[in-house]
Amino acid sequence: MQHPPPPVASVAVMEFRGSKSPFDCLLLDLDDTLYSSTIGIRQACKKNIEDFLASKCGVSEGRASALRVEHFRSHGSSLAGLLALGYDVHPDEYHSFVHGRLPYELIRPDAGLRELLLSIPQPKILFTNSDRQHARRTLRRLGVEEDCFHRIICFETMNPHLFKDEREAGSSGPLPATRNVEVILKPSAAAMKMAVWLAGFAPHRTLFVDDNERNIAAGKAIGLRTALVIPPPSPSPAFLGDSYIEQSHVLFLKVGKRERTKEDDYLLDSISELRQVIPEIWGEQEKKGGGEHGAVTTMRRDLDSIRETTPIGA
């Protein structure tokens, strides 16, 4: 039987233990967290998912769009929905279509991000719903070396059972007539607990950084410290009076103070503000006040029930 590698805590060099930082480890999301949600990758991924559904299910574009929403609401992702309904879909087939056709050229090298990540003394773990190939390709586009992270927890890490038949194909025994088709992804409790176990650090000393409020809420539920990355809205001619506008994946209502929910301990406009907003990572003194700072003020977030999670892993 193949066992997962040991937790990071059991192999990492704990050079930062003598610091005053309250964090021993950082869990970092990838898509729309390490790069902006506004560059077009999100929109392209959504279109690819709908094209895949249209082809696989033999439906119109309009119906495929509705199916994507239905699968997300009922099963957490389109792949999970297809497998649950009995479609013969291999994860590699799905990801090669949905992620393989993305316009990766939209992701630009980010020297500032690389410098920021390298400056963090604690073990850093990339925690994404996406497949490993997408994660590696995205990191290359960002100019960030894979070994900047102590581990990558991705689709394959959380769902080894979906690849079990491939590993058994070379054996002489018959393959099982049925297989477990459950797809484990954020924000499920199973995914969150697996990440914490693989990290090997106490949840209350682990900082989880993500752009999705459902994921943040799931992290908070198991005791993680949390930081929500959510870009401020830009002026738009579509914003009229009390009308709602869609800015990336978040709906905003009127201009007002940015308000943290009970699930997020910190709020960032972008990952570039990490040191400014959470200096405690480096053992530096927490900054007081800053009531009008960009990381503390923004538009009020509403309509939680109809927001979509990051579709890169959907």
In this structure, of 34-38, 46-50, 295-299, the range with the lowest mean pLDDT score is 295-299
Cα–Cα distances in angstroms (integers) from residue 294 to residues 9, 209, 231, 251, in the given order: 34, 18, 10, 18
41-57 vs 61-75: helix crossing angle, rounded to 10: 100
The pLDDT value given to residue 231:
87
In this structure, of 15-24, 184-193, 217-226, the range with the lowest mean pLDDT score is 15-24
The pLDDT value given to residue 232:
80
Which residue shows structure tokens 């009229």? 240
The pLDDT value given to residue 19:
64
Please give the sequence-ordered ranges of beta strands (E in DSSP) within the chain, or none if there are none: 25-28, 124-127, 151-153, 206-210, 225-229, 245-247, 250-252, 266-268
pLDDT tens string 214-232: 999 999 999 999 999 998 8
Report the distance separating Cα 242 and Cα 244, nearest Å: 6
pLDDT tens string 50-109: 999 999 999 999 999 999 999 999 998 999 999 999 999 999 999 999 999 999 999 999
The pLDDT value given to residue 262:
78
pLDDT tens string 126-146: 999 999 999 999 999 999 999
Contacts of 159 (CB under 8 A, 6+ apart): 91, 183, 184
Contacts of 166 (CB under 8 A, 6+ apart): none
Cα–Cα distances in angstroms (integers) from residue 54 to residues 62, 78, 100, 122, in the given order: 9, 12, 17, 44
Q: At 277, phi and psi to the nearest 5?
A: -90, -35
Global pTM reads 0.80
Task: Tell me the CATH number of domain 8-37+110-169+176-313, given options 3.40.605.10, 3.40.50.1000, 3.10.450.230, 3.40.50.720.
Answer: 3.40.50.1000
Specify whether the backbone of 84 is left (phi greater than 0), alpha (psi in -120 to 50) or beta.
alpha
Q: What percent of the chain has pLDDT over 70?
A: 71
Spans of all domains in the chain: 8-37+110-169+176-313
Do residues 225 and 23 make contact, with C-beta atoms less than 8 angstroms apart?
Answer: yes
The pLDDT value given to residue 241:
34
The pLDDT value given to residue 259:
60
The pLDDT value given to residue 261:
72
